[in-house]
Chains A and B, each alone.
Chain A
Amino acid sequence: MTTTRKTRRWRGVIAVALFAGAAGLLFKRPSVLLLSVVGVAYAAYPQLPTEPTVSLDLERRLSDEDPSDGDEVTVRVTVRNTGTGILPDLRLVDGVPPMLSVTGGTPRHAATLRPGESTSFSYTVTATQGTHRFEPATVIARDIAGAAEVETEVAAETTIECVAEVPEVPLRDQTSQLVGRIVTDQGGSGVEFHRTREYERGDDMSRIDWRRFARTGDLTTTEYREERAASVVLCLDVRASAYRSPGEGEPHAVAHSLAAAEQLLSSLAETTDSVGLASLGGSEACWLPPGTGRDQVTRARKLLATHPSLSPYPPDEPAAADHSSALTDLRRRLGNETQVVLFSPLLDAFAVEAAMQLEATDHATTVVSPDVTSPETPGGRLATTERANRITTLRESGIRTVDWDPSEPLGTALIHAQERWSR
């Protein structure tokens, strides 16, 4: 969107003309009266230049497009004046992804650009986990007098992918009928021994225990644990209350949840499991039904990066917003055999209620909870305690909960959680 406005910064110079004129008349000094000509000339000055016409081409070059967590990435921005007029006073602020912090240089720049001329500047950001899309750069172009300014945006598609790999996603036993990787308690074909039973007509000859038949004369059939695929929906808690961060300038819980969802999505994409996407809260519901295949993963990634509900900025909602209907809608959308991985910082009771309702309505639920509480203040300590209590409540209700400290890789938290679950 382009906005043009008058700065009116030269209005005060009229006072110069009036003051000089008044003094000249009062003291009968023609030379002082002539001084007001200077004021008049400067008052007319802003009317002389034409409004700048902004036509720019912006290019970003990254030193590393797929950095690891914590790596420094140098961003070099080149802006070219593709218009026909000179831009004497061009001010530019690059659209640094909200979750990346600038650690060197500045993403702001000023230049004078003749037609066809370009200018470049560089700055360094520190990569954090997730897919970070650059926002359009904000440009303010003033005329030479600074009397009129045009504010607009210049976009250039640039993304920093910083996706850490996680080990196998620990899914619950709830599965679909499709063959997959999750070993079930149901007997059938598979590789892990389940039990032997009396032979029934139609059983596969290869599964008959011939040794036992030779020894006892009884026909028995060996059953293996069936391996089936799961249907998983990655659900992100994006209510305004989830946009908390441990301190100023640090990523909030939704940013960590997005990064975690991205990692789990990448891991699940390599399996036969169906994966979908949903949001709990937000400006509008995000919903991608579970599916498999490359297109599905691409769709999910695109939603994670662009869906308005998954924005890095909190939704504009009242403090006491009721999200019960959103939860009801989500439960209605989930299929019978779909399990849920809920990403939530667990900063309020509703997140616990949501997980328990999902679990109670036959959707095996796993909670991945980034810890964004900070025990440095009394309020922070209270939040830490309340969150710990919520995790205990969830675990006592049989809901698997991954307590994740975002300063550690998600994979480590998942391994620790799996160790605890296997005990």
Chain B
Amino acid sequence: MTDRNPLAVSSVASVLAGLLAIWFVATSSLQRNALLVAALGLAGVGIGIRLARYDHRLVGAILGAGGLGGLAVAFSRLGRGSLAQQLEFYPGVIGLLVLTAGLAPVYRKYERPYVTVGTALVFVSVVTAGVVQSATIWNLLAGGVATVVAWDLGEQAINLRNHVGGDARTWPVELTHASAAAAVGGGAMFLAIFVENANVTGVPLAGLGVMLGAAVVLTTALYN
């Protein structure tokens, strides 16, 4: 029977990129320790759902339950942290759970919405870290890039599966695609740092906002 699940390589890489995004912006040791526990929990959830999809329901359910337990432990650890740390951590990890569930997949019909919502929540964490000023500009940008890469790889895991199925040898295409997306992210980071070094942060914020707004409008226009 044809494997109809999102492709494994891109799915795993997507969740790892999402984890990396949170890792970049959740810089305190409390957050990072909790994130490691959450990562184990996410692995349990993802592998558990996938095993259940392959008809290993009992093992899958045990792993999934263990994974959710791990996530609960991670969440409880953050209970001791500050509000800012919690605001950085919770949306992102919930987003990672949604992303993992989407790619596992928990519900085949809504794989894409799961990936979009999951990565959007991860991005909320990244922006929150910027707002509470807990992360350096490099970390912030790296978190943003990792979030977009997580979405790109998650979507690629679905659309490539849709075309060739899960049984075909797809990893070279997946790796090529992932490398290119990461390379563009690297370029975007250097562009942002260049903008910062151009001392544009000294100009009124509204002016900078208008400039970036114009760039957004321009790129939007390119789509039409």
B-binding residues in A (CB < 8 A): 6-9, 11-14, 16-21, 23-25, 27-45, 47, 88-93, 105-106, 108-112, 121, 140, 144-146
Contact = CB atoms under 8 A, between A and B. Distances in A.
B99 interface: no
Contact of A34 (B123, B141, B160, B222): B141
Given A23-B130, A110-B168, A41 B176 contact: no
A88 B195 CA distance: 31
A24 B209 contact: yes
Interface string B106-131: 00000000001000000100110011
A20 B144 contact: yes
Nearest to B167: A106
Contacts of B216: 14, 17-18, 21, 36, 39-40, 43
Interface in B193-216: 195-196, 200-201, 205-206, 208-209, 212-213, 215-216
Interface residues of B, number: 57
Given A32-B127, A109-B164, 18 more contacts: A11-B223, A25-B205, A27-B131, A29-B131, A30-B196, A30-B208, A31-B130, A32-B130, A35-B130, A37-B195, A39-B148, A41-B191, A43-B216, A47-B219, A47-B222, A108-B165, A110-B169, A111-B173
A37 B190 CA distance: 10
B34 interface: no
Contact of B192 (A37, A43, A45): A37
A41 B170 contact: no
A35 B200 CA distance: 14
Interface stretch (B54-62, B75-83, B87-95, B180-188): B180-188
B177 A146 contact: yes
5 nearest A-B residue pairs (beta carbon) = A41-B188, A32-B130, A43-B219, A37-B192, A108-B164
B140 A93 contact: no
A325 to B, nearest CB: 43
B163 A29 contact: no
B28 interface: no
B116 A12 contact: yes
A105 B3 CA distance: 12
A38 B189 contact: yes
B11 interface: no
B83 to A, nearest CB: 15
A88 B176 contact: yes
Nearest to B123: A16
A80 B201 CA distance: 51
Nearest to A88: B176
Contacts of B164: 91-93, 106, 108-110
Interface in B142-167: 144-145, 147-148, 151-152, 155-156, 159-160, 163-165, 167
A90 B173 contact: yes
Nearest to B196: A34
A109 B171 CA distance: 11
B172 A111 contact: yes
B2 interface: yes
A144 B127 contact: no
Contacts of A40: 188, 212, 215-216, 219
Given A37-B212, A44-B219, A31 B140 contact: yes
Residue of B156, B169, B222 contacting most chain A CB atoms (<10 Å): B169
Contact of A121 (B168, B205, B219): B168
Contacts of A33: 205, 208-209, 212
Contacts of B176: 88-89, 112, 144
A34 B190 CA distance: 11
A146 B159 contact: yes
A34 B208 CA distance: 9
Contacts of B159: 7, 9, 146
B167 A30 contact: no
A53 B43 CA distance: 40
A64 B127 CA distance: 61
B220 interface: yes
A41 B185 CA distance: 8
Contacts of B155: 9
A23 B173 contact: no
Contacts of A31: 130, 133, 137, 140, 201
Contact of B173 (A25, A47, A112): A112
B45 to A, nearest CB: 25
A39 B141 CA distance: 10
Contacts of B206: 25
A87 to B, nearest CB: 10
Given A12-B116, A88-B176, A19 B127 contact: yes
30 contacts: A9-B159, A13-B151, A16-B148, A18-B216, A19-B127, A25-B206, A27-B131, A31-B201, A33-B205, A33-B208, A35-B126, A37-B141, A37-B215, A38-B144, A38-B145, A40-B216, A42-B185, A43-B216, A88-B173, A88-B180, A89-B160, A89-B176, A91-B160, A91-B163, A110-B160, A110-B169, A110-B172, A144-B180, A145-B184, A146-B177
A35 B219 contact: no
A25 B210 CA distance: 10
Contacts of A90: 173
Nearest to B164: A108
Contacts of B173: 88-91, 110-112
B180 A37 contact: no
A180 B12 CA distance: 72
Contacts of A89: 160, 173, 176-177
